[in-house]
Structure 1
Amino acid sequence: MPGATREHAVGLTIQEMARRSGFTEPTLRYYEKIGLLGTVARDKASGHRRYEPATVERVEALSCLRSSGVTVSGMRRYLDLLARGDSAAGDLRDLFAAQAERLAADIEQLQLRLAYLRGKADMWDARVRGDTAAENRAVEEITHLLQQFSH
């Protein structure tokens, strides 16, 4: 193909797909095995996997979902809904909205953990400096933060 890049001429190798997506090679093989990737083309000469543009797009979408905390079953649901087309638009909206809420809750917990770590650093810094008042303030803040952690 004149002007075609190597990627579009023969597809990405599994190593290239792993680097591009952030998934490990075993994860890509597993996702193929359980049907998340559809049929992955094979090089006729070697039999090695070759990820063609449509599969690359699917893997990249799954990578975005996974990095947002979507489970394998959630990815499967997404692909099933996507295959239904526009009739599934409401269900897709609900799927993404629910995941966004879960992610927001995770971020809130991470912000609490960050504040806790900073508070502990402040407490130990105050102790190093011999500032008892600052150390007591830090301990109060840490105690308040600990009460906010979900169990």
Structure 2
Amino acid sequence: MAATDKIDGTSRMTIQEVSRLSGLSEPTLRYYEKIGLISAVERDRSSGHRRYGPAVVETIEALSCLRSTGMSVRDMRAYLRHLDTSDAGRLRELFQRNAERLAGEIERMRVRLRYLELKADLSSARERGDAEAERRAVTDIMPVIADLY
């Protein structure tokens, strides 16, 4: 049988194909099935290997996008639960909350980046023997250190 087969006339993908397509590892795909994040995956009758149908693949692609944002499994469950309802407000709240979380992470990363840039400036000033530039770098880095905590 080819990697992609047809069961009941519908194209099915192997776990390797779905992994490559979604960027999710095979163990992650199995885990998502085990915890019910994706529905039970059909098995090839002769080999017992998983065969992913189009609807499951579509769900996996959406989950992969959500996971890439750092969304929790709990929030991915909520996304799937509210997807088929007319309650767009809950989805908006879910996305807004996660956007705010991600914005906070980005801000913390910007502080870390600034700290490293200033440390490089400080090292450069020391390397050149430039006492004035070293003093400026120390002055500039102190408030950033406070922001790291």
Which TM-score applies when normalising by structure 1? 0.87
In the alignment, the residues of structure 2 paired with residue 53 and residue 139 of structure 1 have an alpha-carbon distance, to the nearest angstrom, of 58
Deviation at 1:20, TM superposition (A): 2.0
Instruction: Quote the residue 1:110 is aligned against.
Output: 109
Instruction: Quote the residue 1:3 is aligned against.
Output: none
Q: Which runs of 4+ in 1 moved over 6 A?
A: none
Superposed CA RMSD in Å reads: 1.6
In the alignment, the residues of structure 2 paired with residue 18 and residue 128 of structure 1 have an alpha-carbon distance, to the nearest angstrom, of 48
Deviations along 1:88-138, whole A, 9 cap, x unmatched? 211011110111001001000011111111111111111111111112211
Unmatched tracts of structure 2, length 5 or more: none
**Residue 101 of structure 2 corresponds to residue 89 of structure 1:** no
Tell me the number of residue pairs that the alignment of Structure 1 and Structure 2 aligns: 143
Larger helix proportion of the pair:
1
Deviation at 1:10, TM superposition (A): 3.8
Larger strand proportion of the pair:
2
Question: Is this contact kept in 1: 2:11–2:54, CA < 8 A?
Answer: no
3-state SS of 2:90 partner: helix
Which TM-score applies when normalising by structure 2? 0.88
Deviation at 1:13, TM superposition (A): 1.4
Question: Bigger CA drift: 42-51 or 24-33?
Answer: 42-51
In the alignment, the residues of structure 1 paired with residue 27 and residue 79 of structure 2 have an alpha-carbon distance, to the nearest angstrom, of 22
Instruction: Quote the residue 2:80 is aligned against.
Output: 79
Unmatched tracts of structure 1, length 5 or more: 1-5
Deviation at 1:7, TM superposition (A): 7.5
